[in-house]
A and B are shown apart, each in its own frame.
Chain A
Amino acid sequence: MTAATATVDAPRRTFTGSIKRSRRWALYSSYFFLILFAIFFLVPPYYQLVTATKTSEQISNQTTNPWLPALTASAEGLNPGGENASKASLAVKSNAGESWMPAALQGAWANVTQLMTTTDFPIYFRNTAIVTVLVVIVTMLIAVPAAFSLGRMRFWGSGILATGVFLTYLVPDSLLFIPLFKVVGGLGLLNSYWGLVLVYPTLSVPFCTWIMIGYFQSIPKELDEAALIDGANYLQMLFKIFIPVALPGVIAATIFAFTVSWAAFVYPMAFIYSSDQLVLTAGTITSLVKADVYQWGMIMTAALIAAAPPLVIYAFLMDYYIAGLTAGATKG
């Protein structure tokens, strides 16, 4: 067989695509799935927002579309709180028909004023803020040095300890709350938000430590050697080099600790029972759900207001949550 025949016999290579085309398809499919996910995740908050603008009467009205805001003000009144109606809501009620406010805003305003004046929502909010700030402080005070020592100061058993820290995070709070109830009770902290300040770090510290171990380990080891030679001790190294360089990790951990504390539900339900000590999650449920009566308008309003601080925190801190802060430290 000659070389010429061999060439003819060889299977011909065909090029059916191009880099440009496959990139376009990758983009199309990315957009498709991203939009799908966005819709999936935005539907519940949307429904929450719409419901928060309605009175109980409008919510229970079967003839209107529950997915759309009310177009006309409630004829019966904007008094979802029943006999506890406040002056503010009465003022809105008396002008219901001819108010300058759109119906949806009237409903929302009524829900907010009801929530603030007829329930202990402001107390829950204050308690949650106190507990969360303290938990974030406690968490960071424990997790940052723990992560630094486990991640950077090689010592016997540090690897196993680091894994152990993470494993404790995997134990769900629904399993822990009974033994913790005994602990908190033994310390005389039942029915006090100080008990929550004590137990929330059991959830936040392990995970925050784990996140920061990863961040600290990603910092080139020459950086701490350079700091050692420059005369820094371990504390100076931590505060002057590691925390600034691993700031994205510290912020991620802070956001996590904040979220854990702000949204915790099982522990406050189990440990707190008087309304002056309750926090948002448990307080909203206990005060707005009475037997089988759900005050949906106010529940949704409470949930929206409660979601605002985490949203604000995310919005502010995300600006600093930038990867690649270590750029330039070593050869890049």
Chain B
Amino acid sequence: MANVALRKVVKKYDRTEAVRGIDLDIADKEFIVLVGPSGCGKSTTLRMIAGLEEVTDGEIFIGGDLVNDVPPKDRDIAMVFQNYALYPHMTVFENMSFGLRLKKYPKPEIKSRVENAARILGITELLERRPRQLSGGQRQRVAMGRAIVRNPKVFLFDEPLSNLDAKLRVQMRTEIKKVHQTVKTTTVYVTHDQVEAMTLADRVVVMNAGVIEQLGTPQELYHSPRTRFVAGFIGSPAMNFVPCTLTEATGGGLSARLGAGLSFNIPASRTQRYKPFVGRELIFGLRPEHMIEVRGERRPDCQEFGVTVDVVEPMGMETMVFFLVDGTEVCARVNPAAAGQPGQQMRLVAELGNMHLIDPQTDAVI
């Protein structure tokens, strides 16, 4: 068991800077997820922790030891790859025990460790099979088993569920969480899927263009994003962004004017925070789930408004309603029974307690 620390870590490929000086502290037994779009540097960061990529600059510590020049085999880590990377000519047992056999562990110990890992993952009956005789989910379990038997200081997962179909992905996600709760090993998990990040992580690291945009618990990232990128990346469907102008309303309050016909009153609790930006062109952000159908009761910081429905996407338990606000497409998440038809007028309620204002010059959430 160990903590992992990254200090001003940089990775350059020729002239391209894939990772630009990131600092990260991962506590012992913590489950950290690195999430971000393709090319954001998350996999490179993971591979540097693994020792598969050299660090151009900065320092990486595992369990307090500087490991920049330590080969992967001596870092006491285990990694699960996106495409499983099982040895095709070996049985599941041989695959899982390969690392232990190389380290010349006694046979009875190898056997008991493999059997224990197989039991945790429910693959005991597959131990004599070869990878080609397994399904995608089973292969990924074997890959995880290969990591577990080593009893490493740190687990590294490089988009392990990306190759699985949607249903299996959800199932394996739960499996991974269960395994972490059972073996309690420090875990660094890379994914581009923000749902995976939110569901698995103790803390999520959102990366973009080689830097950490924000680090926090899933709830923090969801409710208090620091940048427009994080606000848009976390949450599905993504947060709506509409240009607005912040104006001073009568009575000392503030209001955000979204184009010609729509204006929202800023909750009183935010007035002080937003006051310096009065008169500025800003971006108004509100998640689809915070724009719902009118339910009758009046709640604080909620404001009713009317829209013309453009597109309706029924999802079963909820329906996405798309409409235009000053030329920008906006999505609301409503009760299926309340959703109108395309072209119809509809009344919605904006829960303004959850709104965000973004400064377009810095892309920072105010």
| A binding-site residues for B, Cβ under 8 Å | 220, 222-223, 225-233, 236, 240-241, 244-245, 247, 325-332
Interfacial chain A residues near B134, Cβ < 8 Å:
328
In the complex, what residues of A have CB within 8 A of residue B88's CB? 245, 325-329
Contact B99 A231 (CB under 8 A): yes
Q: Are B71 and A331 in contact (CB under 8 A)?
A: no
Q: Which residue of B lies closest to A226 (CB)?
A: B85
Given known A-B contacts A231-B102, A329-B131, A223 and B87 have beta carbons under 8 A apart: yes
A-B contact pairs, 21 of them (CB 8 A): A222-B82, A222-B85, A225-B81, A226-B85, A226-B87, A228-B73, A229-B99, A230-B102, A231-B99, A233-B73, A244-B89, A245-B89, A328-B134, A329-B84, A329-B87, A330-B83, A330-B84, A330-B85, A330-B86, A331-B84, A331-B136
Indicate if the CB atoms of B86 and A329 lie closer than 8 Å.
yes
Bound form: Cα–Cα A237–B350 in Å: 60
- Report the Cα distance A192→B79, complex, angstroms: 55
Max count, chain B CB within 10 A of own CB: residue among A327, A328, A330: A328
CB pair A328–B85 under 8 Å, yes or no, is no
Tell me the minimal C-beta distance from A329 to chain B in angstroms.
4
A328 engages B52 (CB within 8 Å): no
B149 to chain A, nearest CB (A): 10
Q: Which of B51, B83, B87 is packed against the most chain A CB atoms within 10 Å? A: B87
Give chain B's interface residues, CB within 8 Å of chain A: 50-52, 71-73, 77-79, 81-89, 98-99, 102-103, 130-134, 136, 139, 146, 150, 163
B86 lies within 8 A of A232 (CB): no
B-chain residues with CB within 8 Å of residue A328 when the two chains form the complex:
86, 88, 130-134, 139
Alpha-carbon gap, A240 to B136, bound state (A): 24
Which residues on A sit within 8 Å (CB–CB) of B77? 229
Report whether A226 and B79 are in contact in the complex, using a CB–CB cutoff of 8 Å: yes
Kindly identify which residue among B84, B89, B98, B139 contacts A230, using a CB–CB cutoff of 8 Å.
B98
Taking the nearest CB of chain B, how far is it from the CB of A248, in angstroms?
12
Q: Chain B contacts of A331 at CB under 8 A?
A: 83-84, 136, 139, 163
Q: For the complex formed, measure the closest distance between the CB of A77 and the CB atoms of chain B, giving whole angstroms.
A: 59
* Cβ distance A112 to chain B, nearest Cβ, rounded Å: 43
- How far is B73's CA from A320's CA once the two chains are assembled, in angstroms? 33
Q: Which residues does chain B contribute within 8 Å of A329, judged by CB atoms?
A: 84-88, 131
Residues of chain B within 8 A (CB-CB) of A245 are: 87-89
Interface contact A226-B81, CB-CB below 8 Å: yes
**Which residue on chain A has the smallest CB distance to residue B158?**
A222
Which residues of B are found within 8 Å of A325, using beta-carbon distances? 88-89
Which residue of chain A is the closest to B83 with respect to CB atoms? A330
B132 nearest CB neighbor, chain A only: A328
Do residues A231 and B89 form an inter-chain contact, with CB atoms below 8 A?
no
Q: Tell me the bound Cα distance from A225 to B85 in angstroms.
A: 8
CB distance from A171 to the nearest CB of B (A): 35
A232: chain B residues within 8 A (beta carbon)? 73, 98, 102
CA A55 – CA B50 in complex, angstroms?
Answer: 74
Residues of A within 8 A of B83 (CB): 220, 222, 330-331
User: How far is the CB of A87 from the nearest CB of chain B, in Å?
Assistant: 55
Residues in A whose Cβ lies below 8 Å from that of B52? 225, 228-229
User: Nearest CB to that of A223 among chain B residues?
Assistant: B85
